[in-house]
Amino acid sequence: MPALKRPKPTTVVLGLLCVMYLITYVDRVNISTAADSIKRELGLSNTQLGVLQSAFGYPYLLFQIFGGWIGDRFGPRRTLFLCGLIWASATILTGFAGGLTTLFVCRLLVGIGEGATFPVATRAMQSWTAVGRRGFAQGLTHAFARLGNAVTPPIVAWLILVVEWRGSFVALGCSSLVWVLIWVWYFRDTPADHPAITPAELDMLPNHGAPAKIVRSRVPWGALTKRMAPVTIVYFCYGWTLWLYLTWLPSYFLHEYQYDLRKSALFTSAVFFAGVVGDYLGGEISDRILQSTGDLQKARRNVVMFGFLGSFVCLVPVFLTHDLVLIIVSLGAAFFFAEIVIGPMWSIPMDIAGKFSGTAAGMMNTGSALAAILSPIAFGYIIDRSGNWQLPFVGSLAFLLIGAVLAPTMHPERAFE
């Protein structure tokens, strides 16, 4: 019997990043499934619950650019190790929170730990991924993030039944710690330093296999911020809809259709699975267009515009029917098209910023982080004022159109350096 072939280090690194994306989304959206249990135990209003759900977003916003800079300066290995320790520990501590204030603090800590993860992961991909596979890598990793969205509701619902909502946070936090230890043991900032990598693999990576030393040069903050500003604004438009889905969808099915936690979790999971497919296809489509045309505008901008417009069209039926099957199909299709945006969007910081890609990715993701604060609060406030669980989706329609209109301002074909 032939011996099993060991996977390439580049494949293992991409796999580790995929698992990280999945875990981080499990730990950031678990609270949305547990929200009703938390709300009942602590006697919260929808507005207070929205404020609690937004707690993650404040440090997540602040640590995007700073965390990306840390990753550029000190390397993804140490940076993601520290980040993982913080978010995993904070998730565990959430299970021991005694009230609204301590819960808020724990969610702040989760935001601190996860704030730098995606920009720093982008910096890792800059060294470990061939240029023509960047869209694929970003699409695949974010597909795993959406897989995390999809599996979290039924997993957390089951854990709540078994060990209550507090025990669910402890179990998920402990699982995160396992990834943290494997990452720091296996990953190397410079691909050439990895003991298992081959010359053939190095030849496929940036710099023609030369050691990609960690950049310690001064970041041109003003010029880079101005260059990335259109990308940040477009990503905010995407983030508004994303965080509406992540923080309120289980509660939407629970209250709008009066289903129990288990059924609400399953419906939410079905919608998020559509995003898994959208993430993967968006990256693949973007890379194939780039390989066939060599045109970054067509490969990035056009795919982003297509995703925004498709999501807009598919979200409209939410306001035209109350049929549950049609609502699930509409929400799932809208999420599918919104997630097509991800692969090309996360490739743009690498296309534009090169050695500053971690910092640039942090600048871009600041848009989504700001939406993570504003979207949940707006949703909760609107529901408390109107009692209408469909009305907040109007904001998503507006931002999807704005994102499509502004996408041509990003110019990924113009390298910063």
Amino acid present at 130: A
* DSSP code, position 198: -
With a CB cutoff of 8 Å and minimum separation 6, the contacts of 235 are 345, 364, 365, 367, 368
Tokens of 139: 């699409």
411 touches 351 (CB < 8 A)? no
pLDDT (tens, 9 = 90+) of the chain, 417 residues, equals 445 577 888 889 889 999 998 888 888 778 877 877 888 887 777 777 777 877 887 888 788 777 777 877 888 899 999 999 999 999 999 888 877 888 889 889 988 888 888 888 888 887 888 777 877 887 788 788 888 877 887 888 888 888 888 888 899 889 899 999 999 999 988 888 888 888 888 878 776 445 444 445 577 888 888 999 999 999 999 999 888 887 777 777 776 666 655 666 677 777 888 888 888 888 889 989 988 888 888 899 999 999 999 999 999 988 887 787 888 889 889 999 999 998 899 889 888 887 777 788 888 988 988 888 888 778 878 888 877 777 778 888 999 999 999 999 998 888 776
DSSP secondary structure, 113-151, as one string: HHHTHHHHHHHHHHHHS-GGGHHHHHHHHHHHHHHHHHH
* CA 397 from centre of chain: 20
Lookup: tokens for 178: 């396992």
Concatenate the DSSP letters of all residues of 29-70 into one string: HHHHHHHHHHHHHHT--HHHHHHHHHTTHHHHHHHHHHHHHH
The DSSP string of 265-292 is: HHHHHHHHHHHHHHHHHHHHHHHHHHHH
9-409 fold: Growth Hormone; Chain: A; (1.20.1250)
